[in-house]
Amino acid sequence: MSVYNKAHDLARELAASEEYKEYLKAKEKMEKDKTNLSILEEYRRKQWEVQMAQLLGQEVDEELLVQLEQIYQILSLNPAINEFLLAEYRFTRMLGDIQKILAESVESWFSVGGYNPMLN
């Protein structure tokens, strides 16, 4: 069986996994309420702004951090959004674990000039 066939098998397994099914169910439930979706989108936009400022070495606006915290407080009280975020976390953690397994199996591919970011 070719590597590509195995990749397609893995893709089918991922789509059939409990983690993915729970993610889709929670996503659908959360998206039924447009207010939930709007709040989550606003939170992620502000999170992105903070992360970009940090990556660029810029000082993060204090008001932005306050807004982010306020939105987080609203999110934390919302069961549908919490369920979605937890399901999303579980699925992305599984994908990350799989990526790590694959990367470790070909770790010499990451070695350039004696530096291996997988090990350092």
Measured CA to CA, the distance from residue 85 to residue 49 in angstroms comes to 19
What's the pLDDT score for residue 99? 93
What's the pLDDT score for residue 38? 92
What's the pLDDT score for residue 76? 87
Note the pLDDT tens digit of each residue in 90-109. 999 999 999 999 988 887 77
What's the pLDDT score for residue 61? 87
**pLDDT under 50 in the chain at which residues?**
none
Measured CA to CA, the distance from residue 103 to residue 97 in angstroms comes to 10
Measured CA to CA, the distance from residue 65 to residue 80 in angstroms comes to 24
- Cβ(64)–Cβ(50) under 8 Å? yes
The token duo for 8 is: 């397609």
State the Rg of the chain over Cα: 19
pTM of the model: 0.77
Q: Determine if residue 61 is left, alpha or beta; phi over 0 gives left, psi from -120 to 50 gives alpha, anything else beta.
A: beta
What's the pLDDT score for residue 64? 87
